[in-house]
Amino acid sequence: MSKNKTTCWNLENSYTKLPKRFFAHIHPTIVKDPAIVLFNEGLAEQLGLSCTSFQAEEVVKWLSGNAIPPQSKPLAQAYAGHQFGNFTRLGDGRAILLGEQITPEGHRVDIQLKGAGRTPYSRGGDGRAALGPMLREYIISEALHALHIPTTRSLAVVSTGESILREKELPGAILTRSASSHIRVGTFQYAAAWGSLDELQCLADYVIKRHYPNALNVDNRYIQLYKEVIDGQAALIAKWQLVGFVHGVMNTDNMTISGESIDYGPCAFMDAFDPATVFSSIDQTGRYAYGNQPAIGGWNLARFAEALLPLFHKEKERAIKIAQDVLSSYDDRFLEYWQNGMRSKLGLINKEPGDEKLISDLLDLMKKHKADYTNTFIALTNDKWGNHSIYNEKEFKQWHQRWKKRKNKQQASNKEIHTLMQSNNPAVIPRNHRVEEALNAAVEHGDTRVVKELVHVLSTPYAHTEEKASYQQASNADTPYRTFCGT
């Protein structure tokens, strides 16, 4: 492919049509010696960008911010957010949106550089990112995608050839991230707090047109927008819970309007089942613990409603009543998504009274005996228990018999049940010690082979093959696993 061929870029900049309050035009900061560390060929093809080889000089420049792609109008987005409950004014402090790539299928996808330098919203920060956190986001976001969980995705990680200072000097890097959009609950909070009613309405109309065009056909499109976002968040968080994923920092600026997972700082996957599981070093109170995620989702949605109130009804009391009525559906929507997912994990094709008790009893036993969340469901799927200590417990064997009787009542073959369970119980997740092993090899020793192998294994999580056996083992470390924001 000729190095001059750039027709694969098909960028538009619809976000720039919003009022100027919502963004600031800014170019990435030039870096010293960029080099590609990871490149996602599969995603590049989906985006229509595979026509350029990742070895090409132009591609390295584009993905590092040293050159701007054709038609790009780079910008940083403004937003606000409740961070651990405290409201503050924010914005893209180190991320720059290149534009929206129109894919061969006609989808509009944001292309953003994370770690691309200072912006007007950096608040004293250097606008840079370290290699380790950018590799972590690549690993986890692509793992969630393979688990069929809506998420932003990672196109590439580029080293900058420069060091950044955190607790110590670290190698710098830039992540190229794609998303349906980067519009957040915090974007609406920003509009409500510092913008006019016309600007708030303009933002809402833009989101509806871009993400929820069916809302244009109802009497109050903004109420319908709220309903759609509630449903998307209920479905998303249920999917997190079903695979034992702990996001770690569910601030309103980390909650997308599109229903995609975003921002993978202190995130991790649970080993032993415990609803109180917290990994983030800064979450001292357990606000964002695994078991709290559904409730925090509802709390964030309440903050979204507060921003939308003027669009629900001109009379505030009436608007509040509408918001409360709509939000009341969230708990039921989440529970429905989660219970249906748990039935699938247990091979239950139909719904029967007593299923909720069967599910809750299993989780209670798993918590009591500190059973590995993922591996317990793998053992149930394959009915092979090996050295799983929980299986030797009398009360678990009694539960196991109840479950088998429940399965046998169904009008389904054993093969159908097994297939259902295999497709809902991943054989592998990003085990925390495996992620750390890969990051250490890349950051401390310049060896990306471990990262690449891990990404490969995680790309087919529902393939229950022998090659994945070594990736199923939990860490033997005695100390609790801790994660950090990486900002």
Pairing of strands 268-269, 153-165: unpaired
Give alpha helix (H) positions in 147-285: 185-194, 197-211, 221-243
- Tell me if 226 sits within 8 A of 306, measured CB to CB: no
Residue 48 Cα distances to 10, 72, 102, 474, angstroms: 8, 16, 8, 38
Q: What confidence score (pLDDT) does residue 4 get?
A: 36
Q: Which residue, among 75, 119, 115, 82, has the nearest Cα to 98 in the 3D structure?
A: 75
Give SS3 for 174: strand
Q: What is the pLDDT of residues 131-142, one digit of tens each?
A: 999 999 999 999
- Token pair 């059973």: residue: 371
Q: pLDDT tens, 260-271?
A: 999 998 999 999
Q: Is the pLDDT reported for residue 193 higher than 50?
A: yes
Reported residue count of the chain is 487
> How confident is the model over 449-457, as a mean pLDDT?
97
Q: How far apart are the first and last CA of the chain?
A: 37
Mean pLDDT over residues 348-375, rounded?
Answer: 96
Give the residue among 226, 241, 246, 365 at the shortest CA–CA distance from 301: 226
Question: Measured between alpha carbons, how far is 451 from 157 in angstroms, rounded to an integer?
Answer: 12
Q: What is the tens place of the pLDDT at every residue in 296-335?
A: 999 999 999 999 999 999 999 999 999 999 999 999 999 9
pLDDT of residue 281: 82
User: How are the residues of the chain apportioned to helix, strand and coil, as percentages rounded to the nearest 5?
Assistant: 45, 15, 40
Q: What is the pLDDT of residue 478?
A: 64
* pLDDT for position 487: 47
Place of tokens 């990680």: 157
What angle in degrees, to the nearest 10, is found between the helix axes of 221-243 and 330-345? 30
C-alpha–C-alpha distance, residues 440 and 433, integer Å: 10
- The H or E element spanning position 316 is helix 316-327
- For residue 52, pLDDT over 60 is answered with no
In the prediction, which pLDDT does 371 show?
95
Contact present, 467 and 306 (Cβ < 8 Å): no
Tell me the catalytic residues: 253
Say yes or no to pLDDT of 1 above 60.
no
Q: Which token pair is 237?
A: 């968080």
Q: What is the pLDDT of residues 200-242, one digit of tens each?
A: 999 999 999 999 999 999 999 999 999 999 999 999 999 999 9
pLDDT over 90 (residue 479): no
Q: What integer is the mean pLDDT of 49-64?
A: 76
Asked whether the CA dihedral 334, 210, 21, 71 is positive or negative, the reply is: positive
Q: How confident is the model at residue 53 (pLDDT cuts 50, 70, 90)?
A: very low
Q: Which long-range contacts (CB under 8 A, 24 or more apart) does 460-469 make?
A: 460/146, 461/143, 461/146, 461/147, 461/426, 461/427, 461/428, 461/429, 462/422, 462/423, 462/424, 462/425, 462/426, 462/427, 463/427, 464/378, 464/381, 464/382, 464/422, 464/427, 465/427, 468/427, 468/428
